[in-house]
Amino acid sequence: MLLVDAPVEVLQTGVYCIRNLVNGKRYVGSAAKSFQNRWKSHRNSLRRGDHIARHLQAAWNKYGESSFKFEVLERCTPENCIKKEQYWIDSCQAADSEHGYNQSPTAGSILGMKLSAQAKSKITNAVKKQWEDESHRKNVSAKVSATLTGRKLSAESLAKRTAKQRPQLIARNKSKEMRDRMSKTLTGHSVSEETKRKIAASLRGRRLTEKHRLEIAKAHQRSDSKERSRAGAKKQWDSYTPEQRIAAVQKMQEGNKKLRGTARYNSVLTEKIVQEARELRRSGWTYKSLQERYDCGFLTIYKAVIGKTWSHVQ
């Protein structure tokens, strides 16, 4: 008679073991519903030859069904099953291959469990097949979105994430393959009005750091200064006679042949900016990002960085 046979009033949940009568090794588990159902489930899997505990399955195949016995180790309420199971796994050394058949040393978890190459392959194929189902992907996406919506990370968490991800992003963006892929994805891409409104709404009311404010102020200052300079130059140019314009152009051309860097009348960069831009480029910045940062033409920053212009700057 199995030890699971007991009066109805006796708890039918708790910790059990499947013991090998030949060598004494045990497989320890817990039944949160009933011992009878749990033993039936184990026995059916072992008879089919597909039990998750491969060492137990191998022993079952070797010694035969008659060499194994299902035994109740301790009866307890369902909520205490995992705690008690862990105690018995440790006590019986069931996760040690010399004493037992448990593959995981942690009750109710696969933590520490060593999977065979075949088992890993089965899991991988099952997940791939499941992920091919569009409805499954949508369900997963909806669950993740619901979990993350409204969640705010602390400043410390954001700093850690940035510190961890930035080197990875820089390294990834340096590769030609990634640049080509991004270029192909964004070519011809246009943002819808709805997306623009969402972006504007997400940025509205956002608190900027002092550093960010200073960068924006400097950018605006550079832009305003350029506009004033252009307006003044245009006003002066309009007041010139044709002869004066020719003379002015010749003078600027002659002067520029002898001048370098900021000494040139039309310089939009400085030695300091060129040095900084070259450092940023080496750290992974794109030319497009540098162009936007310094508010200049693409070729201007490109030639300065590669040394075709501003070659005197080390």
Among residues 95, 119, 143, the one where a domain terminates is 119
Q: Does some domain include residue 211?
A: no
**pLDDT value of residue 167:** 76
Q: Is residue 104 part of a domain?
A: yes
Together in a domain, 105 and 31: yes
Q: Closest Cα partner for 59 from 36, 30, 92, 26?
A: 26
Per the domain annotation, does 58 fall within a domain?
yes
Q: Give yes or no: residues 269 and 251 share one domain.
A: no
Question: Hey, what are 235's tokens?
Answer: 């006003």
Identify the H or E element spanning 87: helix 81-92
Same domain, 60 and 103: yes
In a domain, 299, yes or no: yes
Distance CA 23, CA 67 (A): 9
Residue 303 CB burial class (10 angstroms; 0-12, 13-18, ≥19): middle
Q: Residue 237: is its pLDDT beyond 90? A: no
Task: Evaluate whether residue 272 is within a structural domain.
Answer: yes
Residues 109 and 48 in one domain: yes
Q: Is residue 245 part of a domain?
A: yes
Closest C-alpha among 272, 255, 265 to residue 310: 272
Q: Which of 213, 238, 258 is the last residue of a domain?
A: 258
pLDDT for 264 equals 60
**pLDDT tier at 18 (50, 70, 90 boundaries)?**
very high
Backbone angles phi, psi at 68, to 5 degrees: -125, 145
Q: Of all residues in the chain, what percent carry a pLDDT higher than 90?
A: 26
In terms of average pLDDT, the best of 2-16, 165-179, 256-270, 295-309 is: 295-309
Of 168, 164, 188, the C-alpha closest to 178 is 168
CATH number, residue 96 = 3.40.1440.10
Q: Same domain for 248 and 281? A: no
pLDDT of residue 8: 42
Residues 249 and 294 in one domain: no
CA distance 186 to 288: 13
Q: What pLDDT is stored for residue 4 in this prediction?
A: 44
Enumerate long-range contacts of 244-251, CB under 8 Å, 24 or more apart. none
Final residue belonging to a domain, choices 68, 98, 119: 119
How many structural domains is the chain composed of? 3
Which residue range forms the structural domain that includes residue 236? 230-258
284 located within any domain: yes
Task: Mention every residue, 6+ apart, whose C-beta is less than 8 A from residue 264.
Answer: 256
- Dump the DSSP string for 280-312: HHHTT--HHHHHHHHT--HHHHHHHHHTSS-TT
What's the chain's Rg over C-alpha atoms? Answer: 36
Q: Clarify whether residues 294 and 241 are in a common domain.
A: no
The 10s digit of each residue's pLDDT in 53-108 is 889 999 999 999 999 999 999 999 999 999 999 999 999 999 898 999 998 888 87
